[in-house]
Chain A
Amino acid sequence: MRAPRNGPGPRTEPGGNGFRNGGPRRRTLLAAAAAVPTAALLPGCSGGDGRRGGRGRSVLRFQSLAWQKESVDANKQLVAEWNRLHPDIPVQYVQGAWPTVHDQLLTSFEGGEAPDIIHDASDDLADFAYGGYLADLTGLLPRRLKDDIPARGWESGTFGGRVYGIPFLQEPRVLIADGVKLRRSGVRVPTADAPWTWEEFGEVAKELTGGGGYGVAWPLKEPVSVTLNLALSTGGRIFRRRPDGRAEVRFDAADQVVPRTIHDQVNVVRSAARTTLGMGGADTLPGFFAGRYAILPLGFSYRQQIAQQAPKDFEWTVLPAPRGAGGADQGVSPQTLSIAADCPRKEEAMAFVDFLLRPPNMARLALGDWMLPTGREALKAPELHEDRHDWATGTALADTLRAAPAQSVRGYPEWKDKIATPGFQEYYSGAIDLDELRQRLVHDGNLVLARYQR
C-alpha cells in the first residue's frame, strides 16, 4: 500500500537567523535573499497530492499512451463519461508517452508511485509482471471481457499462467502499395483470403523494380520484431520451450525463410532499397510518395500518416502480408491495460477498465488509433469494415494475429538489443552470412537467456 501523501508544503518558519552581529541592513539583505526563492516556490508547493477528488475522494490515475489527436480525444471523452456516471470513483487522465514509458514506469514502480491503471504494450510487460509490479487480473476479470477477447489475444497479456495485461488494440503488419504501379504491373492483387506467398511476393517485388525505383523498401531500424512476427507465417518461432519450460533460441529452416527473403531482395535480386534498412517507417514515406518504392511493409496504423501526408492524387492501397507454410499468421504485441500491484482499489480500477473496453468504446479507441480492437464485438463495428482507408482489409486479418512468440521470454529484451538487432542489421546489409547470423542468434543468444533462467 502507498504511504499517505500529505505534501509538506513550504517550510517558511524562520527558525532564527543566527546572525548575531549582523546589522539591520545586512539582516534585511539576507532575509530578502532567503525569501525570494521561498516565495517563488509557494505556487509550486501544491503538496504533491494530485489524487484527491473534488469531494475528498481518492482518484484513480489512468496513464494513457494515446498520442494521435483522435485517440487522445476518445480516451479523454471516455474518462469524462466514466466520471459523470461514477462520481464516487473518479478517474484522472494522465498523459504518458511511448518513447519513455518503460523508464518512467520502472522508476514509478520502484518508488511505489505508479499510476493505478497502466496503458502499455504487451512486449513491455514481462519484466514488470515477473517483478511483481502488476496486479494479477485473473480473478478480477469480468466474464463479459474474458469471453469477448479470443484466447490467442489473452496469450499476449499472460505471464506464468496469470493475466497481467488486457490486450485491447493490435495492428497487423501490412503491405502498403502504390496503387498505380501495382495496377500497371498487371500482377495479381492479393486479398486477405488469398495473400501472396513469400515466393510470389519476391517475384512481384522484382516485377515492380526498375526505372530508378524499387519494388519494396524495408524500413528495418528495429528489425527484430518485424522479422520474428512475420516469421510466424512460415512456421518460424525462433523461441521454443523445452520440456522443462525453459525457452531456447533456434534458427531452423522455417525461421530462416523471412530473413533470407529480405536479405536476397536487398543484396541479391536488388528489388529492395538498401538505404531504407536503417530507417523508421515514417522516414520511408517521402520516397513512397515520390514513386521511389512501390511497396512498404508497415504497421496498419501508418495509414493515418499516409492519409495525412500523401499528395492528393496519390493512390495507395493496403494489402495483406505474404503467407507461408504456416499460413497467414503473424505475431503482434497488442496494447494492453494493466492495474498496478500497489493500486489500493483494484476492483474499482477493473470496473473502469471494463467500461473503457465495452465494445462500442473499444471500437472508438481502435478508430482513434487506426488499429484493430481485440474484442470480437468491437470488431463488428461498421466503421471498421469500410473500404475507406482500407479498414476492411486490415479487419479481415484479425483472425491471423497471434501473440508474438518472443514477448513472454525472460531475457528477450537483452537478446534483442545485444544480439539480434546488430545480427539482423548486419545480415540484411550483407555484412555477414546466414551461418554467422545463426551462430550469433543461437549460440550467443542462448548464453544470454541462460542467465535469466537459472
Chain B
Amino acid sequence: MALLCYLVFLAFPFLWLVSTAFKPPRELGSLHPTWIPRAPTLDNFRTAFDEQPLLQAAANSLLAAAVSALVAIVLATPMAYVLARLRTRFARAATGWVVVSQAFPLVLVIIPLFLVLKTLHLVDARTGLILVYVVWSLPFALWMLTGYVRAVPPELEEAAAVDGAGRLRTLVSVTGPLLAPGIVATGLFAFITAWNEFFFALVLLKSPEKQTMPVVLTHFLGAEGVADLGPLAAAALLATLPSLLLFAVIQRRITGGMLAGAVKN
C-alpha cells in the first residue's frame, strides 16, 4: 500500500505534465481541470517547436550529458577501485573530502569558475560545460562506485589470482562484470545530472545555438511568474522523455548485470 502511494506520488507530476501538454489554452484556465483533456490538441507541441529550437537544445543536452557521463565513468572507475581496495588513511580522507565537496552550493563556485574557464577560453564552449559537468559529477560518481567496488568480495579476485589470472585479467574478467551494473547506474546518474543541470549551462553558454534544454525551457516563462503553460508543458515533457527511456532500457540491464559474473565457473 505504501509502495502504491509512493508510486502515485511520483507519477502524479508526470501524468499532470502529460495531461497539460495536450490541453488547449481554454482548458488550462479551468477551475475544474480534468485528467483527460476534453479537446486534446497537438498545438502546444507545434507552438513549442515553432518558438524555440528544441531539437537543437536536446542535441546539445544529449552531447553534454553523454560525454560528461562517459568521461566521469572513465575517470571514476579506476579511482574508485583504488580508494575501495586501499584501506589507508589517505583513502579515508579522500572519501571524506568527496562527501564534503557535495555540500558546496553552486553560487559559491560559479564566479571563480567562470573566470577560470574564461582564462582557458572555455566560456561559451561546449567543452567548458562538459568539463564542468565532469568535475561536478565526479565526486558523487566516485563515491557511488567506491561502494560498488567494496561490494565485490576481494576473495573472488584472490581466487582468480590463485587460478593464475594476472591483475589485468582479473579486473577485466572477474571484477569488471560484477562492477558493470554499478558503472551503468553511476553513468546514468552522471547523465541525468548533466541532462537536468540548469545554472552552469545558463551562465556558461551564451550563443543561442549552444543552449541546452533546461535553459531553453525558461524561455517559455515571463516576468512575475507568468508562463506560456501549454507549450512549456509540451517542451518539458519532451525534456523528460530521454531520462525515462534511458531508465526503462537500462533498468533491466542493471538487474541482469548483477547476476552475470557472480558465479565463478
Contacts and interface: CB of A to CB of B under 8 A. Distances in A.
Nearest to B32: A290
B99 interface: no
B71 interface: yes
Contact of B130 (A41, A67, A110): A41
Interface residues of A, number: 64
B219 interface: yes
B114 A67 contact: no
Interface stretch (B11-19, B121-129, B243-251, B253-261): B121-129
A113 B218 contact: no
B39 interface: no
Contacts of B26: 308-312
B66 to A, nearest CB: 7
B234 to A, nearest CB: 13
Contacts of B5: none
Contacts of A45: 125-127
Given A5-B121, A41-B67, A302-B226, A103 B202 contact: yes
Contact of A50 (B67, B209, B222): B209
Interface string B52-90: 100000000001101100110010000000000000000
Interface of A: 3, 5-8, 10, 26, 33, 36-37, 40-41, 43-50, 61, 65, 67-69, 72, 92-95, 97-100, 103-104, 107-108, 110-113, 115, 121, 221-222, 280-282, 285-287, 289-290, 292, 299, 301-302, 305, 308-312
Nearest to A41: B127
Nearest to B120: A8
Contact of B127 (A10, A98, A281): A10
A99 B216 CA distance: 12
Contacts of A93: 208
Nearest to B28: A309
Given A10-B127, A46-B125, A93-B208, A103 B203 contact: yes
B111 A110 contact: yes
B52 to A, nearest CB: 8
Q: Is chain B's interface secondary structure helix, strand, loop, or mixed overall?
A: helix
Interface of B: 25-26, 28-33, 47, 50-52, 63-64, 66-67, 70-71, 74, 110-111, 114-115, 118, 120-128, 130, 168, 199, 202-203, 206-211, 215-216, 218-229
A48 B210 CA distance: 10
A43 B63 contact: yes
Contacts of A282: 225-227, 229
Contacts of B33: 286
The residue among A48, A50, A98, A110 with the most chain B CB atoms within 10 A of its own CB is A48
Given A107-B111, A289-B30, A40 B121 contact: no
Given A44-B126, A107-B203, 20 more contacts: A5-B124, A37-B71, A43-B126, A46-B210, A48-B123, A67-B219, A69-B228, A72-B51, A94-B207, A97-B218, A111-B118, A113-B206, A282-B226, A286-B30, A289-B30, A290-B30, A290-B32, A305-B226, A309-B26, A311-B29
B23 to A, nearest CB: 10
The residue among A7, A285, A301 with the most chain B CB atoms within 10 A of its own CB is A7
